[in-house]
Amino acid sequence: MNYLVFKSLHIISVVTWFAGLFYMPRLFVYFAEAETKNPAEKKILQDQFKIMQRRLWYGITWPSAIAVLIFGSILAAQFWPITQYPWLVLKLGFVALLYAYHIFLHAIFKQQQNNNISFSPLALRVINEISTIFLVAIVFLVVLKNVLSMVYGIVGLFVLVAILMIAIKAYKKIREREEFSMPELKNINNDDWKTKLNEEEYKILRMCGTERPFAGEYYLFFESGIYTCAGCGHELFSSETKYDSGSGWPAFYDVIGTKNIRLIEDQSLGMKRVEVRCSYCDSHLGHVFEDGPRPTGLRYCINSIALKHHKS
């Protein structure tokens, strides 16, 4: 194989490695946030997150990290002795730190697989941004390849870190404000719901009904935007995670936020399933299954009537 072939394989491995490093801490956040749920819901959520973590970590992230090491070593041999390339020496230093970060994430992964939580959701959100910092530093070094540009890049890196910290704190405040101001609708009585909803909406949202397959408004609807709860208007799903599952109902492989839904064990109809409810108004939305696409492996099978689409 020639140099360009190894370079292509190296780039592909880097992309998939970073994909895992970006998404894994997000799953850590979801797992930690599930601690605030009631015991039954907490177990359902955390068991699912552990499955998702194992699939992502052992199926994508670790194999990609090993491939990067192999192909990167082959490419580095083309620049021997590397001391003649200051940018490459610094880049390899960042890559070594990135592998240390990978091992650090592996330790958190093992803890959560054993139901141990060492970091708060906010701390995990900060940890989630570390891979972004490494990505910016490494790309600048590879593309610019000169000492002065490296200095500018490192200064820019610290500016990026400061911006990320401010953004994380602002996001936390926005989340807290939204959660505080969002009206609790769980205690509205049935008469009020009958006034608020039409007959079909009431049957599905409040009586846990199911619309006919292949007939819902959003089954084969793929316009960009946000899907909210038809009962209270709270955000649930993004069009970016919607896909055609062939099941007959709208399907999503992820939610906007785990706090936006509740998962309940459902043993009706002689089957053992996991019901999905809106966490703000307790409306029935559908069910979630473990046969979805990567990276989550989940399929949120949701009634169209339980959703309202808003264009982005």
CATH number for the domain harbouring residue 212: 2.170.150.20
Residue 229 bears catalytic tag: no
- 8 Å CB contact between 233 and 199: no
Q: How many distinct helices (H) and strands (E) make up the chain?
A: 9, 9
- 248-249-254 Cα angle (round to 5): 130
Residue 180 reports pLDDT greater than 50:
no
Average of per-residue pLDDT across 154-173:
71
Q: What is the SS3 assignment for 134?
A: helix
Q: Rounded to 10 degrees, what is the CA torsion of 45, 51, 52, 57?
A: 140
Based on the domain organization, do 54 and 24 belong to the same domain?
yes
* Residue with more model confidence, 270 or 35: 35
Based on the domain organization, do 35 and 161 belong to the same domain?
yes
Residue 187 reports pLDDT greater than 60:
no
Q: Please provide residue 45's backbone torsions phi and psi, each rounded to the nearest 5 degrees.
A: -65, -50
What is the structure's pLDDT at 225?
Answer: 93
Based on the domain organization, do 262 and 134 belong to the same domain?
no
> Which two structure tokens, joined as six digits, stand for 69?
């090491």
Q: What is the SS3 assignment for 205?
A: helix
Based on the domain organization, do 171 and 236 belong to the same domain?
no
Whole-angstrom distance, CA of residue 249 vs CA of residue 266:
18
Close Cβ partners of 66 (under 8 Å, ≥ 6 residues apart): none
Based on the domain organization, do 175 and 59 belong to the same domain?
yes
What is the structure's pLDDT at 43?
Answer: 85
Q: Which of 181, 214, 239 is the last residue of a domain?
A: 181
Based on the domain organization, do 135 and 257 belong to the same domain?
no
Residue 79 reports pLDDT greater than 60:
yes
Lowest mean pLDDT among 44-53, 110-119, 140-149, 163-172: 140-149
| pTM above threshold 0.75 | no
What is the structure's pLDDT at 88?
Answer: 73
- Closest of 253, 254, 261, 247 to residue 212, by C-alpha: 247
Residue 182 reports pLDDT greater than 50:
no
What is the structure's pLDDT at 183?
Answer: 47
- Closest of 125, 9, 140 to residue 73, by C-alpha: 9
- Closest of 24, 23, 31 to residue 117, by C-alpha: 31
> Which two structure tokens, joined as six digits, stand for 165?
């910290």
Which residue in 232, 278, 281, 301 is the catalytic one? 301
Based on the domain organization, do 21 and 146 belong to the same domain?
yes
Q: Which of 117, 152, 181 is the last residue of a domain?
A: 181
Q: Which of 149, 181, 213 is the last residue of a domain?
A: 181
Residue 246: which domain range? Answer: 190-311
Q: Taken in order 111, 117, 123, 128, is the CA torsion positive or negative?
A: positive
Whole-angstrom distance, CA of residue 56 vs CA of residue 288:
19
Q: Please provide residue 305's backbone torsions phi and psi, each rounded to the nearest 5 degrees.
A: -65, -25
What is the structure's pLDDT at 181?
Answer: 44
DSSP 257-282: -GGGEEEEEE-GGG--EEEEEETTT-
Residue 307 reports pLDDT greater than 60:
yes
* Residue with more model confidence, 228 or 152: 228
* Cα first-last separation, the chain: 46
Average of per-residue pLDDT across 6-29:
92
- Residue 191 — very low, low, confident or very high, per pLDDT cuts 50/70/90? confident
Q: Where are the beta strands (DSSP E) in the chain?
A: 225-229, 235-238, 242-243, 251-252, 261-266, 273-278, 284-289, 299-302, 307-311
Based on the domain organization, do 204 and 78 belong to the same domain?
no
Q: What is the SS3 assignment for 229?
A: strand
Based on the domain organization, do 85 and 201 belong to the same domain?
no
Number of domains making up the chain: 2
pLDDT, tens digit, 9 for 90 and up, residues 229-246: 999 889 999 999 999 999
Strand-by-strand arrangement of the 273-278 sheet: 242-243, 251-252, 299-302, 284-289, 273-278, 261-266
Average of per-residue pLDDT across 85-98:
82
- Residue 259 — very low, low, confident or very high, per pLDDT cuts 50/70/90? confident
Residue 198 reports pLDDT greater than 70:
yes
Based on the domain organization, do 140 and 229 belong to the same domain?
no
Based on the domain organization, do 146 and 211 belong to the same domain?
no
The overall average pLDDT reported for the chain is: 85
pLDDT, tens digit, 9 for 90 and up, residues 101-146: 999 999 999 999 999 998 988 889 889 888 888 887 777 777 766 6
Burial per residue of 85-104, b for 16 or more beta-carbon CB atoms within 10 angstroms, e otherwise: eebbebbbebbeebeebbee
Site of tokens 């590879």:
142
What is the structure's pLDDT at 151?
Answer: 63
Based on the domain organization, do 117 and 62 belong to the same domain?
yes
State what percent of residues in the chain have pLDDT above 70.
Answer: 87
> Which two structure tokens, joined as six digits, stand for 10?
């190296």
Whole-angstrom distance, CA of residue 7 vs CA of residue 37:
46
